Amino acid sequence: MTGSTANQDGYIGKRLGRYEIDSLLAKGGMGLVYRGHDTTRDKKVAIKILSEDSLRNEQMVRRFERESGIVQKIQHVNVAQIFKTGLDEGIPYYIMEYVDGQSMSELLSTKGKIGGRCSIDYLRQTVLGLREAAKYGVIHRDIKPANLMLSNDGTIKIVDFGIAKAMTNDSFQTATGQVMGTAMYISPEQARGEEVDLRSDVYSLGATFYHILTGKPPFDEDNPVRVMMLQIQEYYQPVYEVNPKVPPKLCNIIHQMTEKDPNERYQDYDALILAIDGIYSTKADDSTLRFGGTSPASSDYGRSPQTSEYITHNTDTSESHPIPGGYNLGPAQNQPAAQSAPLRPPLRLGKVLMRVLGIFVLLVIIFLGFVFGPELVDLVTGPDPDDYEHLEQQKRLEEEALEQRIREISE
């Protein structure tokens, strides 16, 4: 290796107080993460050291110091803890909890996708960690599979608060108009460079678990700018189309988390936890598939998934799976199975009357067609085709302007 990376490798075998650096674990946006050993307590730790390249960037140094300050405040089982911060020859570092496991990104690379009670367990744990961060006014802004660590005991740990933003007064605020985050999981408002709140993390978490449940991100393209435009303008393929085994209620939760309009998403983490806890409820009041707004999904999106075939990647369901915070999904056989739901609710009297009225109006139009002939045809055929061409041209111009703005604020 050359440059700063080679210099950073010089840390292996070095001691930072009572902490001894063993090996390189990962390379991050601001620095390198090493596995270390606490010689006093005889336990593994992770050591994050700011790279020399980042050290030359004052903003990077402030972000690094800020990350350690933020996470030290958050004491929660689902957030990787920071134990100590310090300087080594003028280079900042901090000692953090070592997660003996793998990231969700690594798990997806081997499993393809993760289903069943495990996915619901992981989603709920992550929400609990983000809720605790929100109590301190902290928005993560880069929730993605790589930043969710899964320990060997099944505990989710949220890591890398490097671009987190405080919702309260802060001496280091990212300027409006600057895009930070990962394109495949970024919220529409974050992609536009607008001010964000916890609902942006809700979107990113929904996009992350879309990937976990289906095996692919909502928009899977190589061009980050193109992906951000899709996040802003387009709807992805519904969860239940990609993986029909996902329970309807879980599909609805992911779809609502990833609504384009923040006001249509869950407004706080308590509401989201309540929805997650209701997935295995015996009540069938929210099992109608919904997508792209508050309207039930139409039958065009396919039949309702059969949840009896929905299996976890861990096939041992004889034991309960406890979740930090007192939540327990319990043995599989004790959980009421989510029932496949009709895509349309039963017809009510009002809907019957509306259909009768619609048929009557259609008959009237047909009658008027015989009486007035071509004049009526012109009335019902809509605008001139040239008008549609004009609208399409205007839409293309708007898209080009949006793409240009995203490029400018991303640079």
pLDDT reported for residue 297: 38
pLDDT reported for residue 330: 40
DSSP 3: H
pLDDT reported for residue 126: 98
Per CATH, domain 101-334 is 1.10.510.10: yes
pLDDT reported for residue 347: 41
Q: Which residues of 302-333 are buried (b: 16+ CB within 10 A; e: fewer)?
A: eebbebeebebeeeebeeebebebebebeebe
The active-site residue, picked from 9, 42, 88, 142, is: 142
pLDDT reported for residue 401: 64
The model's pTM is 0.68
pLDDT in tens, 42-100: 999 999 888 777 777 777 777 777 767 777 888 999 999 888 888 887 788 889 999 99
Q: Which two structure tokens, joined as six digits, stand for 255? A: 């779809």
pLDDT in tens, 225-248: 999 999 999 999 999 999 999 999
CATH classification for the domain delimited by 3-97, as one of 2.40.50.140, 3.40.50.300, 3.40.50.740, 3.30.200.20: 3.30.200.20
Residue 88 known to be catalytic:
no
What's the sign of the alpha-carbon dihedral 226, 227, 228, 231? positive
Q: Which two structure tokens, joined as six digits, stand for 58? A: 């004052």
Q: How many CB atoms lie within 10 A of CB 162?
A: 23
Q: Is the model's pLDDT at 326 over the cut of 60?
A: no
Q: Which two structure tokens, joined as six digits, stand for 310? A: 């929905």
* All CATH 3.30.200.20 domain ranges in the chain, comma separated: 3-97
- On average, the pLDDT of the chain sits at 75
Q: Is the model's pLDDT at 102 over the cut of 80?
A: yes
Residue 340 binned pLDDT confidence (cut-offs 50, 70, 90): very low
Q: Is the model's pLDDT at 132 over the cut of 90?
A: yes
Q: Select, from the ranges 6-15, 258-267, 320-329, the one with the highest average predicted confidence (pLDDT).
A: 258-267
Q: Write the DSSP assignment of 181-234 as a string of letters.
A: S-GGG--HHHHTT----HHHHHHHHHHHHHHHHHSS-SS--S-HHHHHHHHHH-
Return the minimum-mean-pLDDT range out of 133-142, 178-187, 255-264, 376-385.
Answer: 376-385
The whole-angstrom separation of Cα 327 and Cα 320 is 11
Q: Is the model's pLDDT at 380 over the cut of 80?
A: no
The whole-angstrom separation of Cα 84 and Cα 107 is 29
Q: Is the model's pLDDT at 219 over the cut of 80?
A: yes
pLDDT in tens, 262-276: 999 999 999 999 999
Residue 138 binned pLDDT confidence (cut-offs 50, 70, 90): confident
pLDDT reported for residue 283: 63
Q: Is the model's pLDDT at 259 over the cut of 90?
A: yes
The whole-angstrom separation of Cα 104 and Cα 85 is 27
pLDDT reported for residue 58: 77
The whole-angstrom separation of Cα 294 and Cα 255 is 10
Q: Is the model's pLDDT at 171 over the cut of 70?
A: no
pLDDT reported for residue 352: 58
* All CATH 1.10.510.10 domain ranges in the chain, comma separated: 101-334
Return the minimum-mean-pLDDT range out of 120-124, 144-148, 369-373.
Answer: 369-373
pLDDT reported for residue 248: 94
pLDDT reported for residue 305: 35
pLDDT reported for residue 383: 52
pLDDT in tens, 281-310: 766 555 666 676 644 433 333 333 333 333
Residue 341 binned pLDDT confidence (cut-offs 50, 70, 90): very low
Average pLDDT over residues 160-173: 49
